[in-house]
Amino acid sequence: MYRSADHLVAGFPQTFMWGVSTSAYQIEGAVERDGRGPSIWDTFCTVPGAIERGDDARMACDHYHRWREDVDLLQTLGVSSYRFSVAWPRIQPTGRGEINAAGLAFYDRLVDALLEAGIAPFPTLYHWDLPQALEDAGGWAERDTADRFADYAAAVSAALGDRVTHWSLFNEPFIFTSRGYLFGRYAPGRRSLPAFLKSVHVVTMAHARGYRAMKAGRPGLSVGSTFALAPCEPATDTPDDRWAASYADAVFNHLFLQPLLAGSYPRAFLESIPVGALYLKAGDLDEARTPLDFVGVNTYYRLVVSAGGRSRPALPYFLFDLRSDARGAGGHADFSSPRVEPVMGSFGREEGGRTAMGWEIWPRALYDVLTGVTQVYGRIPLYVCESGCAFDETPGEDGRIHDAARIAYHEQHIQSVLRAVHSGADVRGYHAWSLYDNFEWASGYRPRFGLLHIDFATQRRTWKDSAYWYQRLCHGARARLRDVRSVAS
Ligand code: FCB
């Protein structure tokens, strides 16, 4: 049985942010409203077979129209922070040039409403919805896109930075570059090793330029970025599997963090790709080094990695394929090139239970990641920007949703964060993914990650038991903060 929510918050610093997380494309709908341009995900959704059951996000959670009701929900929930994302194609319909005032106004109103409700807005600038026009010009595999991103980041922070202090540049760069440009599983659906490798370096440079463009306009902002991170364990204790796990760690966890925080790409990665494949220019690595003000962490699983029964080849030995269960039902990459050999990763072992995504429930992963980043890069401020689980659940006979497994999941993960804090990690916030069920990318509406349930036919939002639980936790945290403030005054 889970512990009371109050008990859980007592161990955290009073100023710790308790929040929930969403992203624009997964919740907004209204893809043609107020001058929004098409994004790569709108296009990808029209590709037969790309999204389970042929789902698309034209309506999603209709948040674009229901945002006021949703801010009321957030306020009732009691969160102190709300992580959402800004849709680039609403701000610049073709990804460049003039700002679309009607698109910007949506976020302007949202920010004001959040602040009025006592909630800190925590926007992400890029959560995967690239304007289609930029993809047509080469997308993230084209260097110019880094400058387009910096312009966009500067424009949004100039407009909202008087009220918004915390900004995340990107969401999970490794996931969207690998699944989008290498595995073809996410928009724009490309399967090209050269395009993927170029996109890695362009997105790194986009971080660097975006960060500096925002700070030039508003030096006081706290600007970081958010990464999918997971501990990588060898499947067996053989030298090949151990090597495969350390390689997977270099690629999955450090491919973006290391150039940004330390000015170099991981050596194992560089050794595994053709020389020149990143198209580095002189001075790039100096420029790439960026003093991020925080690192956002999204952790959903541990990765268990094997060399796939092969011994380590002498050739460029590239990347790894992820399988959805330990036995593996095959991945998505096209590894037909003879120079490319996948290292195999799976989402956990058989020890923990599994969520509806097939991911093992392994709370320790979050502890390992938070303390691991601290060890490697020093005591940088960390925010858990996403933590959560999908379960197949439907309302019970009483009309309520008894999602005890989700409560247990959050409770255990929050405890893991607390242990990381006690071990010296500077963790400052926890955001549950997600506020409500939403469009889960290529999986469509099947996986339900929300604290609130959505009936997508009626848009009715229903509180799951986990939402009530999280509400008690957030209200407990707010009460503590009030007590401290009243003692101090
Ligand atoms: C993360 C994404 C987020 C959501 C969760 C389940 O990788 O950032 O948008 O899809 O997974």
In DSSP notation, 298-326 reads E----EEEE-TTSPPPSS----EEEESSS
Catalytic entry in 386, 393, 411, 440: 386
User: How far, in Å, CA of 57 to CA of 55, rounded?
Assistant: 7
Looking up residue 392, the CATH number of its domain turns out to be 3.20.20.80
At 344 the pLDDT is 66
User: C-alpha angle with apex 235: 234 to 240, nearest 5 degrees?
Assistant: 60
Q: What integer is the mean pLDDT of 228-252?
A: 90
> Model confidence at 85, in pLDDT bands (50, 70, 90)?
very high
Asked if residue 247 is part of any domain, the answer here is: no
For 197-234, how does the pLDDT look when each residue is reduced to its tens digit (9 = 90+)? Answer: 999 999 999 999 999 999 999 999 999 999 999 999 99
Q: Report which protein residue has its CA nearest ligand 1's atom 4.
A: 440
314 pLDDT exceeds 50? no
Task: Count CB neighbours of 404 within 10 A.
Answer: 14
The answer to whether 172 is a known catalytic residue is yes
> Model confidence at 304, in pLDDT bands (50, 70, 90)?
confident
User: How far, in Å, CA of 371 to CA of 388, rounded?
Assistant: 19
Give the position, in ligand 1's atom list, of the atom nearest the Cα of 447.
Answer: 6
> Model confidence at 51, in pLDDT bands (50, 70, 90)?
very high
Ligand 1 centroid–CA 422 distance in Å is: 27
User: Residue 248 is encoded by which pair of tokens?
Assistant: 């997977």
CA distances from 325 to 77, 90, 310 (A): 34, 37, 20
Asked if residue 322 is part of any domain, the answer here is: no
Catalytic entry in 28, 135, 172, 440: 172
Instruction: Measure CA 197 to chain center.
Output: 20
Pick from 424, 323, 412: which is nearest to 363 by CA?
A: 412
Task: Count CB neighbours of 118 within 10 A.
Answer: 12
Q: Kind and range of the H or E element at 455?
A: strand 452-455
Ligand 1 centroid–CA 440 distance in Å is: 7
Pick from 478, 465, 438: which is nearest to 79 by CA?
A: 478
Asked if residue 101 is part of any domain, the answer here is: yes
Asked if residue 237 is part of any domain, the answer here is: no
Pick from 297, 298, 277, 117: which is nearest to 193 by CA?
A: 277
For residue 472, what are the domain limits?
6-228+280-299+355-488
Test site for ligand 1: of 27, 172, 179, 355, most ligand atoms within 8 A of the Cβ: 172
At 152 the pLDDT is 99
Ligand 1 centroid–CA 387 distance in Å is: 9
Q: Ligand 1 site: residues with CB under 6 angstroms?
A: 23, 26, 171-172, 175, 228, 298, 386, 433, 440-441, 449
Number of domains in the chain: 1
Asked if residue 244 is part of any domain, the answer here is: no
For 366-381, how does the pLDDT look when each residue is reduced to its tens digit (9 = 90+)? Answer: 999 999 999 999 999 9
Asked if residue 90 is part of any domain, the answer here is: yes
The pTM score is: 0.95
For 54-68, how does the pLDDT look when each residue is reduced to its tens digit (9 = 90+)? Answer: 999 999 999 999 999
At 355 the pLDDT is 94
The answer to whether 386 is a known catalytic residue is yes
Beta strands in 72-196 (DSSP E): 81-85, 120-126, 166-171
Task: Count CB neighbours of 351 within 10 A.
Answer: 9
Asked if residue 261 is part of any domain, the answer here is: no
Asked if residue 308 is part of any domain, the answer here is: no
Give the position, in ligand 1's atom list, of the atom nearest the Cα of 128.
Answer: 9
